[in-house]
Amino acid sequence: MKVKRNLLWQLPLLIIVTGPLWWSPVGDLLGPRGNFENTGGAKISRQSFTMERVVLTQNRGGHDELVIKADKVNSGIHEDLVHLEGIEARMQGRDGRPSVLRGGEAFYHAGQQIVTVLDNVRLKTPDGREMRTEALRYLTKFRKLKTAEDVWLGSEKIQIEGGNFFYDLDDGDFRVGGRVSVDFF
């Protein structure tokens, strides 16, 4: 009986004492295989660029729906965001006549398909109306323009001032909201 009791405590002692000899080979055997370092595969890094005198075009159904000319284009702010300076955008209406949008700077968010135009924004519609505001968003997917800023809208016979503006490029309909003032000539 003494032999069995001695083996019971000697076996764990033998494992602990000889452990440094076999831990490393067994650990290598049980470890993951392969090289997990990136040695020439695709690197994930964020690149930025600056271009001057750029023309961006959005084409839908074989027609140029939106053409933006910018003096300067920058990226790098956010992966989906492009900054444009000194822009002129031509947006084709349903009848083929363009509305022309001008502004000091703009941001195009590719994921949401929204162009935000800032700094002395001016819109000229095909029927001769002119709109002025400080900020305007163009929802390219829905072909609608809107702003929550104060807006001035005018033509030869009417001037409208309001607190917000909505314009549908396909229908040519517009809404001026907020506190609205209208002058007829």
How many angstroms separate the CA atoms of 109 and 74, rounded? 13
Q: Six-digit token pair at 59?
A: 């084409």
Which residues of 29-173 form beta strands (DSSP E)? Answer: 50-60, 63-78, 81-92, 98-109, 114-124, 130-139, 144-147, 151-154, 158-162, 164-168
| C-beta separation of 122 from 131 below 8 A | yes
How many angstroms separate the CA atoms of 100 and 133, rounded? 14
pLDDT digits (tens, 9 = 90+) for 18-46: 888 877 877 777 777 766 665 555 554 56
pLDDT digits (tens, 9 = 90+) for 8-19: 777 778 888 888
